[in-house]
């Protein structure tokens, strides 16, 4: 039985129940080192419902009568670390190599597949606006399993300290500093927000919402949370959503070497560190 000061206790069996619950819901593997995370993030919900234990909360989650609470649990146990221009080499590649060679007559569609609170999606949009401009057809879709994060993303409002990684030229073009009641925040400019749409999507659900095929998919710092079978299933799904010749960006701490299957090898080739391209159908 793990007991954390000031928090509820959790037994190994109870932790395994939550492990299985979040794995089934989102494909996320919680190692034993995440016991404290489970207790600290869910304790407030136990008290909110005036329950006396995490076991009682687990029973509430699994009685099929509280779908809203189940979504809250998923939101609390999923990781949402992100910031603008994270892993900037990808955006340099997008700006300097990928987009300049893209056919002018074709619309460009990008998908931030685990967008969290939207920073990655808006960063991508800044690059697309810089290179393709306002008169060409392009769009960005951001999806996430967390309803709470998507609400933040749609607002386009962030604390001022989130500007620290945004280049000055992008800051001046695409960000508006809050005044009066909005002091201490900034907002993504409307012309950019109009190009970015957000919707909820569980990447590990048997079927996602109907999505188009994309020229670029950003699946960065996502695979590290899944076990090997889940990673392979997800990569197969992602490949199916890429256009012929489309690009896949994964996180700098990730690689596909352990996931390779004949089907994956036949469709993707590595063009730069953590950057893959779907082979054109003519190849």
Please indicate whether residue 3 or residue 66 has the higher confidence score (pLDDT).
66
Q: Where in the chain is the domain with CATH 3.40.50.150?
A: 88-158+190-278
Q: Give the least confident one: 76-85, 233-242, 254-263.
A: 254-263
Out of 13, 47, 75, 144, which one is annotated catalytic? 144
H-helix segments, the chain: 12-26, 35-48, 54-61, 67-77, 88-93, 119-132, 147-155, 168-174, 190-193, 228-241, 262-267
Question: Is the predicted pLDDT of residue 63 greater than 80, yes or no?
Answer: yes
Say how far apart CA 199 and CA 115 lie, in whole Å: 10
Mean pLDDT, residues 192-213 taken together: 89
Say how far apart CA 61 and CA 75 lie, in whole Å: 13
Confidence category of residue 8, pLDDT binned at 50, 70, 90: confident
Question: Is the predicted pLDDT of residue 93 greater than 90, yes or no?
Answer: yes
Select from 3.40.190.10, 1.10.155.10, 2.40.30.200, 3.20.20.140 the CATH code of 2-77: 1.10.155.10
Q: What is the DSSP string of 177-225?
A: E--GGGTTEEEE-HHHHTTEEEEE--TTSSS-S----EEEEEETT-GGG
Catalytic (active site) residue 144: yes
- From the list 9, 32, 21, the residue with the least C-alpha distance to 77 is 21
Confidence category of residue 6, pLDDT binned at 50, 70, 90: low
Mean pLDDT, residues 251-280 taken together: 88
Q: Which pLDDT score is estimated for 253?
A: 87
Q: Are 43 and 77 in contact (CB under 8 A)?
A: no
Q: Which pLDDT score is estimated for 56?
A: 95
Phi, psi of 186, deg, nearest 5: -140, 160
Mean pLDDT, residues 69-93 taken together: 91
Q: Which residues have CB under 8 Å from 5's CB, separation 6+?
A: none
Out of 41, 45, 136, 148, which one is annotated catalytic? 41
Give residue-wise pLDDT tens across range 173-185.
999 999 898 899 9
Confidence category of residue 283, pLDDT binned at 50, 70, 90: very low
pTM of the model: 0.86
Q: Are 127 and 166 in contact (CB under 8 A)?
A: no
**pLDDT over 90 for what percent of the chain?**
70
Give residue-wise pLDDT tens across range 132-165.
999 999 999 999 999 889 999 999 999 999 999 9
Catalytic (active site) residue 180: no
Structure tokens at 70: 């189940």
Q: Are 174 and 153 in contact (CB under 8 A)?
A: no
Expressed in angstroms, the distance from the first to the final Cα of the chain is 57
Select from 3.40.50.150, 3.40.50.10310, 3.40.50.2300, 3.40.50.1370 the CATH code of 88-158+190-278: 3.40.50.150
Mean pLDDT, residues 203-215 taken together: 85
Say how far apart CA 111 and CA 222 lie, in whole Å: 14
Q: Where in the chain is the domain with CATH 1.10.155.10?
A: 2-77
Confidence category of residue 234, pLDDT binned at 50, 70, 90: very high
Confidence category of residue 81, pLDDT binned at 50, 70, 90: confident
């Amino acid at each position: 039985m793990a007991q954390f000061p000031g928090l509820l206790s959790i037994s190994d069996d109870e932790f395994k129940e939550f492990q299985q619950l979040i794995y089934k819901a989102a494909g996320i593997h919680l190692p034993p080192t995440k016991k404290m995370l489970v207790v600290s993030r869910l304790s407030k919900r136990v008290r909110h419902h005036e329950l006396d234990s995490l076991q009682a909360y687990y029973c509430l989650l699994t009685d099929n009568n509280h779908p809203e609470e189940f979504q809250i649990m998923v939101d609390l146990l999923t990781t949402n670390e992100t910031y603008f221009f994270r892993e900037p080499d990808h955006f340099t590649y997008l700006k300097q190599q990928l987009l300049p060679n893209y056919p002018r007559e074709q619309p460009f569609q990008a998908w931030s597949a685990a967008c969290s609170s939207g920073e990655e999606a808006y960063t991508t949009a800044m690059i697309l606006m810089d290179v393709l401009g306002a008169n060409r057809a392009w769009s960005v879709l951001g999806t996430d399993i967390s309803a709470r994060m998507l609400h933040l993303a749609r607002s386009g409002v962030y604390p001022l300290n989130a500007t620290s990684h945004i280049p000055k030229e992008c800051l001046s073009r695409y960000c508006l500093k809050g005044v009066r009641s909005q002091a201490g925040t900034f907002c993504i400019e409307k012309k950019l927000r109009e190009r970015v749409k957000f919707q909820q999507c569980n990447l590990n659900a048997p079927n996602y919402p109907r999505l188009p095929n994309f020229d670029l998919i950003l699946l960065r710092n996502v695979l590290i949370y899944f076990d090997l079978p889940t990673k392979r299933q997800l990569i197969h799904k992602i490949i199916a959503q890429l256009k012929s010749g489309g690009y896949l960006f994964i996180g700098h701490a990730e690689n596909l070497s352990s996931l390779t299957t004949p089907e994956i090898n036949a469709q993707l080739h590595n063009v730069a560190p953590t950057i893959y391209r779907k082979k054109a159908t003519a190849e």
